[in-house]
Chain A
Amino acid sequence: MLEVKNVYKEFIRVNKDKTKEKFYADNDISFNLDKGITLGILGPNGAGKTTLLRMLAGIMEPTKGSITYNGKSFTENEIDLKRDIAYLSGNTKLYQSFTPYELLMLCGEFYDVDENTCKKRIDELSKNLEMENFINKRISTLSTGQQQRVNIARCLIHNPSYYILDEATSGLDIIASQIILDFIKRERDNGKSIIYSTHYMEEAENICDYIIMINEGKIIMTGTSEEINKKMKTTNLRDAFMKLIKGENHE
C-alpha cells in the first residue's frame, strides 16, 4: 500500500524584479492507495500534480512529510522501491537511436530482469501491443502512437506493482490516447495500483476509481466521481472542479 502523509514541496521562485520567493508546489498532501485501485489526481496546469508524482516516483524528495510503499521509504529503500514502480509522463521521451528491442533489453537490465525472462516478455509485449512490425526499427523512425506503445512496454517490462502516469495522454491523438487508457484498465484488472494525473476531467471520470482534486498545491476534494458530483451537486467532474475553485461550495 502507498501512504502519503503531510507531504510538502518547497521551491524558490524568482520574480520579475529578481527577488526570490519561497512557495509550496505541494502543500500538506495526504492519501492512501490500495492494490487494484486507479487513483486520479486532477487539477489544472501548475496545480502541483507533476511535482507530486515525481516525489511518488522517487525522483524528487519531499521538503516535509513521508511517502512509503508497504511501509518502506525512498530514503532507505530507493532501489528496491523503484524496482516496483513504473513512471510514465507526457514528457517521457525515448532514446531515439535505439530500437524498441534494444530499449526494452536495456530497461530489463536496469530492473535486474534476467536476460531470458526479458526476451520472453519482449516477445509477449510485442504481440500484445502490436509492436512486431517495428520492434527492430530505430525509435526515431516511429510514429507518436508507435512510440507510445514502446513507452508502455517499457513500463511493463519489469512487471511493477505501481504505475505512476503523469499527463500520459497529453498531446496525443485519440488513437494513441486510447492505447494508454486501455493499458490502464488492463493493469488495474491485473490488480496493479495506478496513480493517474490529468487535467482531462472526462478521462479521469471514466477510468479512475478514486479522485483527488488539487489546486495551487492543496487538496481541495477527494472521493469517487459519484461522491464528488453528489457533494458538489454537479453532473460531471469538470463542473465540480470549476465550482470548487470559484469557492461557490467549498468543502
Chain B
Amino acid sequence: MNKILIVLKKELKETFRDKKSLMMMMVMPIIIPIFIVVMGYLFESESADSVKDFNKIGFNYEFSEKEKELAKKYYIEPVVEEEQELEKGFEEGTIKIYMIKKDNVYTLHYKDNTSTAISYQLVTSMYSDYKTELQKEYLTNYGINSDDVIDIIKFEEVVPKEDSFIANYMTKMVFVYIVMAITVAATYPATDATAGEKERGTLETLFTFPIKSRDIIVGKYLSVSASSAITGLLSLFLSEIALIFIDKNIPMIHSYHIVFSIGTLLFMAFVVILMSLLISGLTITLASRSKSFKEAQSALSPLNIIVMLPGMYAMFTEAKSTLVTSLIPFVNIHFIFDDVISGKYNLFYVFVMIISTIVFIALILSLIIKQYKKEETLFS
C-alpha cells in the first residue's frame, strides 16, 4: 500500500480514538445549529417586542368597521382620545405618533426618527389600504369596475434577498461559524500529529521506518484535512437542518427564504473541502515548527481569529468580490460566498478564487514538505 495511505490510516485511527480530538471535531457542528435556532427565536421575539412598543397609535375618532379590520391586519392598537390629550401624550412621549381627523382630512403627527419608523410604516400602510377600499366602494356605487381604475397601472415591489438584513446576517453567520468549525477541528489534530507526536517520543520511531519524510507529513496533512472537512461538512448539514427548522417554525423568518438551495449547498460543500485543505496546511505548518504541544497551541490561537475576520467584515458590509479580493485567501471565499447567496456572482471570480486557493494549498504543502526534512524541526 502507498506509504502516504498507511500514515493517513494510522493518523485517522489515532484521531478517532482520541476523545479530545473527537470532541473538537463534534463540538462546533452541534453548537452551530443550536445557535441558529436560538437566534431565530430571539429575532422573532425581538421583532414582536418592537411592534408591541410602537403599535400604540393615537386617534381622535372612533374607527369604522373597515378601519378596525385594517388596524387588526397591521397590529395597530388604537388609543382613542381627545386631540388635546393626544397632544399631551405626544409631548410626554407616551404616544409616539397620532392621527387627527377633521372632516375628510387626516393629519399624522410624528417625530421623524428611527423610533417612529415602524409606527409610521404601520399607519401609512393602513391608511393607504383604507383609501383604496373607499375609492373602490365609491366607484362601485357608480357602476364602474374599480379594478380598471385603481389598478390602471400595476405597481410591484421586488426586494432583493441581499437587502434583507436578517437573511443576510443569518446565512453569513452560518458560513463564518462553519469556517471557525473547520479551523477548530484542524487545530487539535494538527498539533497532536506534529508537536504532540514529537513530545510523546513516537515521531523518532516513525522516522526510522522506510518511509520518506515527505510521505509522513503528507499523510499527516491529509488526515488533518479529513478531520476538518468532516467537521465542516457535518456543520453545513446540521446548519441546513436548523435553517429548515426555523424557516418552518418561525413565520417571520419564513418570508426571508434563508434555507440554502441545493446549488448553494453543493457550492458550500466544495468550499468547505477547499477551506479544510487550506486551513489544515496552515495549522500543520505552524504546529510542526513548535517544540511542544503547548507551544503549538499558542502559535495556532491567532489563526482562529485571522480566518474569521474577512467573514465578519463581509457580514457587516456591502463589500463585493473584485479580482483582487478573489486572489486573497480567506477574503475570497467569504466574499464569493456572499455573492453566491445573493445570486449575483461572477463565474470568473469564482474560478479565480478556486485557482488561487489551490495555488496557496500547493505552496503551503511544498513548504511543509521542505520544512519537515529539516533536523531542527524534528529534533529541536
Q: A61-B375, A91-B201 are in contact. Are A97 and B13 (CB under 8 A)?
A: yes
B3 interfacial contact with A, CB 8 Å: yes
A94, B211: Cβ atoms under 8 Å?
no
Q: A93-B201, A109-B6 are in contact. Are A80 and B210 (CB under 8 A)?
A: yes
A57 interfacial contact with B, CB 8 Å: yes
> What 0/1 readout, one digit per residue, does chain A (17-48) give for beta carbons within 8 Å of chain B?
00000000000000000000000000000000
**B378 surroundings in chain A (CB, below 8 A):** 59
A interface residue numbers (CB < 8 A to B): 54, 57-61, 78-83, 85-87, 89, 91-98, 102, 106-107, 109-112, 154
**A154 surroundings in chain B (CB, below 8 A):** 205
B208, A85: Cβ atoms under 8 Å?
yes
The docked-state distance in angstroms from the alpha carbon of A97 to that of B12 is 11
B49 interfacial contact with A, CB 8 Å: no
A87, B14: Cβ atoms under 8 Å?
no
B14, A95: Cβ atoms under 8 Å?
yes
The docked-state distance in angstroms from the alpha carbon of A106 to that of B212 is 16
Q: A106-B6, A109-B1 are in contact. Are A93 and B208 (CB under 8 A)?
A: no
B interface residue numbers (CB < 8 A to A): 1, 3, 6, 10, 13-14, 17-18, 200-202, 204-205, 207-212, 375, 378-379
The docked-state distance in angstroms from the alpha carbon of A82 to that of B205 is 12
* Nearest Cβ on chain A to B343's Cβ, whole angstroms: 47
**A91 surroundings in chain B (CB, below 8 A):** 201, 204
B210, A59: Cβ atoms under 8 Å?
no
**B200 surroundings in chain A (CB, below 8 A):** 93, 96
* Nearest Cβ on chain B to A53's Cβ, whole angstroms: 10
* Nearest Cβ on chain A to B60's Cβ, whole angstroms: 79
The docked-state distance in angstroms from the alpha carbon of A160 to that of B6 is 20
A94, B202: Cβ atoms under 8 Å?
yes
Point out the residue from B14, B18, B209 that lies within 8 Å of A107, measured CB to CB.
B209
B202, A95: Cβ atoms under 8 Å?
yes
The docked-state distance in angstroms from the alpha carbon of A131 to that of B211 is 27
B210, A112: Cβ atoms under 8 Å?
yes
The docked-state distance in angstroms from the alpha carbon of A98 to that of B10 is 9
A110, B212: Cβ atoms under 8 Å?
no
The docked-state distance in angstroms from the alpha carbon of A81 to that of B209 is 10
B6, A110: Cβ atoms under 8 Å?
yes
* Nearest Cβ on chain A to B360's Cβ, whole angstroms: 30
B interface, by DSSP: helix, strand, loop or mixed?
helix
A59, B212: Cβ atoms under 8 Å?
no
Point out the residue from A57, A78, A80, A93 that lies within 8 Å of B202, measured CB to CB.
A93
Closest 9 CB pairs of A and B: A93-B201, A82-B210, A87-B208, A110-B209, A97-B17, A83-B210, A59-B207, A79-B210, A109-B6
**A93 surroundings in chain B (CB, below 8 A):** 200-202, 205
* Nearest Cβ on chain B to A28's Cβ, whole angstroms: 20
The docked-state distance in angstroms from the alpha carbon of A182 to that of B223 is 39
**A85 surroundings in chain B (CB, below 8 A):** 208
**A78 surroundings in chain B (CB, below 8 A):** 210, 212
B209, A111: Cβ atoms under 8 Å?
yes
Chain A residue nearest in CB terms to B10: A106
A-B contacts, 25 listed (Cβ < 8 Å): A54-B204, A57-B208, A59-B207, A78-B212, A79-B210, A82-B211, A85-B208, A86-B208, A87-B208, A92-B201, A92-B204, A93-B200, A93-B202, A97-B14, A97-B18, A106-B6, A106-B10, A109-B6, A110-B3, A110-B6, A110-B209, A110-B211, A111-B209, A112-B210, A154-B205
**B14 surroundings in chain A (CB, below 8 A):** 95, 97-98
* Nearest Cβ on chain B to A195's Cβ, whole angstroms: 13
* Nearest Cβ on chain A to B377's Cβ, whole angstroms: 12
* Nearest Cβ on chain A to B308's Cβ, whole angstroms: 32
The docked-state distance in angstroms from the alpha carbon of A235 to that of B7 is 50
Q: Which of A59, A80, A89, A92 has the most CB of B within 10 A?
A: A59
A82, B18: Cβ atoms under 8 Å?
no
* Nearest Cβ on chain B to A8's Cβ, whole angstroms: 14
**Besides A110-B3, A110-B211, 15 other A-B contacts (C-beta < 8 A):** A54-B204, A61-B375, A78-B212, A79-B210, A87-B205, A91-B201, A91-B204, A94-B202, A94-B205, A95-B14, A109-B1, A110-B210, A111-B209, A111-B210, A154-B205
The docked-state distance in angstroms from the alpha carbon of A97 to that of B200 is 12
Q: A95-B10, A106-B6 are in contact. Are A89 and B1 (CB under 8 A)?
A: no
Chain B residue nearest in CB terms to A112: B210
**A81 surroundings in chain B (CB, below 8 A):** 210
**B209 surroundings in chain A (CB, below 8 A):** 82, 107, 110-111
* Nearest Cβ on chain B to A13's Cβ, whole angstroms: 13
The docked-state distance in angstroms from the alpha carbon of A107 to that of B207 is 12
Chain B residue nearest in CB terms to A86: B208
B375, A60: Cβ atoms under 8 Å?
yes
The docked-state distance in angstroms from the alpha carbon of A154 to that of B200 is 17
